[in-house]
Amino acid sequence: MNNEDAPDAEDGEEDFGQEAEPYQGHGANDDLHGFMESIRQISAWHNSIDKMLEPARRHIRQMESTRRTIESVMGPGNAVYQAALDAQRHYRAIADPVLALQSDLSDIYDWHSRINDVVRSVSLPRTLLDRLAAAAALFLPDNLVGLDTEDLYAILEMGEDDGLSLAWAPRTEIVKALFPLEARQERYALLAERRDDVLDDVDASLQIVTHPELTSMVAILSTAARTARAGFGEGAQALAGNVLETAMKKHGNAWIRRSFPQVTYPPKAGHHGTIGSALDDADDWGDLTLLQFKHYLVLAGMRNAFGPGATQDTFNRHLGAHQASPDAYRPEFVLPAILLAHALLRALNQDLDRPDEEEDEA
């Protein structure tokens, strides 16, 4: 019985071996290869999606950093802090559903504009300017950090009245020295007295402007500064005026419209019309938002630079180019012209997209 069973057992082992052979053969390798290929494709898809989502993650980190900075400066009970926190919450409401990646990704590429719309909607009442000054490093040029509400208001008034911009240059000490002076000619005289210091500050600030669309204009404006040092004011003013015109024509008008999207601009508006529309819409800067205040500082002095008329007591690029005369080229116009062109280049350097980077440094 046992002997009869033995062959059966051997047959069973042979049968088992024959049945197992197809499982270990070419078909199994095909199944394994297909499985590994599926894993590879899924991994590649995940990496691609992860790369697309990185800008949103970066924006969230930046918003969180801004919130923490404001909180460390002013505390969570402050209105500006609450405004930044509200902006961050709005941002997360937009970004989180997409980051979950549960459905269609077709809206990924319009995140940036939607996020900017949210941040721009955070209002900046005039009563918060002293809080803004306390957190100035986030929203103001570095030479204006530490100035109080009245100082900021005086700078904006000087910009419009004197046709100059004090954003990023000159140094804070010179800016403060302008405040007690009541007359425009007194302020012009102080700038002229401190000419070399003002030009030193402009030259140092222009080192920050590295965008490839702007570097050629930086070179010409640096030449204007050297020309002013050499005592050739008319040449320096002409060079600065041409830099201002070129920057406005190539990038400035579009920058204004991006910075103040709520404004209704006249059809085919020139430089003066575009600048005036943005300034007038701000209602004496009381309706500005957090991100717009720095742009308004640059624009404040530019209305006069492109204003119409046959004569003007502040720098006017139009008169200098089309109605050249000693009246259009005055010694007191040289530094305001250089300061205006410099401030616009600094603002554009922050605004323009980089070909090799996704965003500019603040």
pLDDT in tens, 230-245: 999 999 999 999 999 9
Residues 113 and 140 occupy one common structural domain: no
pTM, two decimal places: 0.64
Give residue 97's pLDDT band: very low, low, confident or very high (50, 70, 90).
Answer: low
Euclidean distance between CA atoms 350 and 149, whole angstroms? 25
* Integer angstrom CA distances of residue 307 from 65, 225, 327, 345: 41, 24, 15, 20
The residue type at 175: V
Residue 213: give the domain boundaries: 126-351
User: Is 60 exceeded by the pLDDT of residue 105?
Assistant: no
Residue 358 within any structural domain of the chain: no
Residues 139 and 261 occupy one common structural domain: yes
Residue 48 within any structural domain of the chain: yes
Average pLDDT over residues 80-91: 63
- Domain finish residue from 120, 137, 171: 120
User: Is 70 exceeded by the pLDDT of residue 85?
Assistant: no
Euclidean distance between CA atoms 73 and 118, whole angstroms? 23
Euclidean distance between CA atoms 242 and 240, whole angstroms? 5
